[in-house]
Amino acid sequence: MKNIFKFILPLISVIVLFSCTKEEIDVAALTDFPPGILSITPANASKVVKGDFDVKVEFADGTVSPLSEGTVTLTDAASTQLATATKSLSGTEDFILIAGSSFNASSLDVGSYTITISVTDAKGQTTNTTSTFEISNLPFAANNDHMYLSGGFNGWGADEFTLVADYTWELLGVNMDGGEWKLKNCENWCDQDWGDSDCDGLVINTTGGGPNSACSPTGLVNIRFNDQTLRYTISPAVIFATNISGLYLLGEFNAFQGGDYKFNLVADNTWVLNEVQLKPGVAFKFAEYPTFMGRNWGDNELDGKADEFGSNIVFSAPQGEAFYKITFNDKTLEYTYEFVKFPAIGIIGSATPGGWDTDTDMTDPDGDGTFEVTMDLVDGEAKFRANHSWDTNWGAGDFPSGTGTLNGPNIPVPAGHYKVTFTPSTGAYNFEVDAGITTVGLIGSATPGGWDTDTNMKDNGDGTWSLVVGLIAGEAKFRANDAWDVNWGAGDFPSGTGTQNGANIPVAAGLYLVTFNSLTGAYSFAPASIGLIGSATAGGWDTDTNLDVDAGNPAIVTGTLTLTDGEAKFRANDDWTFNWGGAAFPSGTGTQDGPNIPVTAGTYTITFNVNTGEYSFN
């Protein structure tokens, strides 16, 4: 009590001093506000189990204008009134309760219902609102009819939860494989989904493409999710014996601290870290906590059996730098590495676009450890290697297929267009003759066809392709044969070197001469000009009269010119490589290398759309 008075007395002094020097505080105004609603049962947008339930609304108001009267009405989806109650209210908190028995709640059908609320205080201030809820056939109250778990472990399918208590969903005995996942309330992603990118046990709505949950355990687990609070828990489905509270890998790769590399207990005393990138010579330890505050284990003899508070473990493995699975037994203190995959696999050599200096990266599209790339090769030699380094490389003397060995000979390669496959785990490789590239197109949000239709480029016959096109601000990629099997991209603009399955190219709006080399991946977006040339123009067939690019649409050029009787064509960059003509006048659709346009003398406003070929002389 003494402490309370020590606090109150100085506070009173401050208030008195303030009231002597400033305008008097209107304490009444601080407690005079319209009536509010503390809670509604059933809650807004909730579901209740079919059966008996009550309707209850709690109100609140200030001391200067206390509660006076309230009305609560229940209606069905057809706006039929099922129950209503009007009650005199008093004080700063009060409620209205409509017992379920009074409107035979247990007999109501499954469907949507509305609670209409009106409350007035002593000063006549009124608050009105409505709230909806649903009666469902679920065994417990919930906000969703179904819940599913989807992730890499089930091919982003749908493992269904069971509703086991109010708002509580449970899924037992699932192995999430340590990958990404989401929760969803519709089997086929037709409604809402939730993710937890922060791994803090609280999901947020990610409908429409929000981030996946970034972490999950391995081994069999049970999951509980509350669709009211959006909190979830993941716990082991089986309780395994262990001598430690947790296990982390701390090393030079994370400055010997942090929870990024956390092991999962998957069997008695057996901890597994599914995937960590290690390179020869890197030092690390096992630790019970994300720091060295608790016990830790090194290996004094580097014999595969850890020593408590031992020396740092220095990593060594025949595969070199790669991703590895690590297993640790907290009883025997034995640990093992298991090779998983290399960070990168590429093909290199005099037969490849990058010569002996630059790898052409390969991809593992099926995730089964077989890498592939489709590419043009010249007469020469090639090898496969990991991580853009000669530390781990494979070669052999056989073509078109064989088994590469570590540091084996160069593979002899004749010129051709190939689909190349390579499996690092076995060394098996194959060069399969491919039909080759018949078309190259530009595709993306910046292009006339969007992401649906390629704008095909001109084949220059030497592996280079070109196109004059008006582009809007957006992204683009190059691809072969109107399909995604072979495509190139990069993050550079207006020029760069595209790689297979590379990033989308950011594009600024403009009229461009676009060039691309399918052998090297080199590309350029250079500003282009469009001019009118011909006997009808002032410059005749010798000099173009350039037209202005439309500010609102870079594909359209315009100009006002006085012309004589004669002929004309449109062409790009004062060169005949790209030119358009047509037989119609004063308007028509020009085609590449089309006929000369017949022109009647006069002064015209001329427009030409590079993307469609449409022109007019008005």
Mean pLDDT, rounded, for 532-550: 96
For the chain, give every domain's residue range.
30-136, 148-236, 248-341, 345-431, 440-527, 530-617
Q: What is the pTM of this model?
A: 0.45
Residue type, 116: T
Mean pLDDT, rounded, for 351-361: 93
User: What does the pLDDT look like over 225-239, one tens digit per residue?
Assistant: 999 999 999 988 888
Question: pLDDT category, 25, cuts 50, 70, 90?
Answer: very low
Mean pLDDT, rounded, for 99-104: 95
Mean pLDDT, rounded, for 477-495: 93
Predicted pLDDT at 29: 53
User: What does the pLDDT look like over 242-285, one tens digit per residue?
Assistant: 999 999 999 999 999 998 899 988 889 999 999 899 999 999 99
The residue with tokens 């400033």 is: 22
Contact 371, 362 (CB under 8 A): yes
Predicted pLDDT at 366: 79
**Percent with pLDDT over 70 in the chain:** 95
Class of the CATH-defined domain 30-136 = mainly beta
User: What does the pLDDT look like over 497-527, one tens digit per residue?
Assistant: 998 889 999 999 999 999 999 877 899 999 9
Predicted pLDDT at 30: 55
Contact 394, 404 (CB under 8 A): yes
* C-alpha pair distances (Å), 485 with each of 351, 434, 458: 22, 12, 20
Question: pLDDT category, 367, cuts 50, 70, 90?
Answer: confident
Q: Is the pLDDT of residue 8 over 90?
A: no
Predicted pLDDT at 435: 64
The residue with tokens 């609280």 is: 202
Contacts of 224 (CB under 8 A, 6+ apart): 168, 169, 170, 232, 233, 235
User: What does the pLDDT look like over 305-322, one tens digit per residue?
Assistant: 999 999 999 999 888 889
Q: Is the pLDDT of residue 19 over 50?
A: no
User: What does the pLDDT look like over 385-412, one tens digit per residue?
Assistant: 999 999 899 999 999 999 999 999 999 9
What is 507-556 written as a DSSP string?
E-SEEEEEEEETTT-EEEEEE--EEEESTTSTTTTTS-EE-EEPSS-TTE
Rounded-to-integer distance, Cα 18 and Cα 13, Å: 9
Q: Is the pLDDT of residue 13 over 70?
A: no
Three-state DSSP class for residue 154: helix
Of the candidate ranges 8-17, 25-34, 453-462, 560-569, the one whose mean pLDDT is the lowest: 8-17
Contact 82, 102 (CB under 8 A): no
Q: Which residues of 376-388 are buried (b: 16+ CB within 10 A; e: fewer)?
A: bbeebbbbbbbbe
User: What does the pLDDT look like over 420-477, one tens digit per residue?
Assistant: 999 998 999 999 877 678 899 999 999 999 999 999 999 987 779 999 999 999 999 9
Q: What is the CATH number of domain 440-527?
A: 2.60.40.3620
CATH number of 530-617, picked from 2.60.40.420, 1.10.10.10, 1.10.3720.10, 2.60.40.3620: 2.60.40.3620
Q: What is the CATH number of domain 345-431?
A: 2.60.40.3620
Predicted pLDDT at 424: 92
Q: What is the CATH number of domain 148-236?
A: 2.60.40.3620
Rounded-to-integer distance, Cα 177 and Cα 196, Å: 17
Q: Which residue has the higher pLDDT, 499 or 532?
A: 532
Predicted pLDDT at 15: 34
The reply to whether domains 440-527 and 530-617 share a CATH topology is yes
Question: pLDDT category, 416, cuts 50, 70, 90?
Answer: confident
Q: Is the pLDDT of residue 10 over 70?
A: no
Mean pLDDT, rounded, for 103-112: 94
Does domain 248-341 fall under CATH 2.40.480? My reply is: no
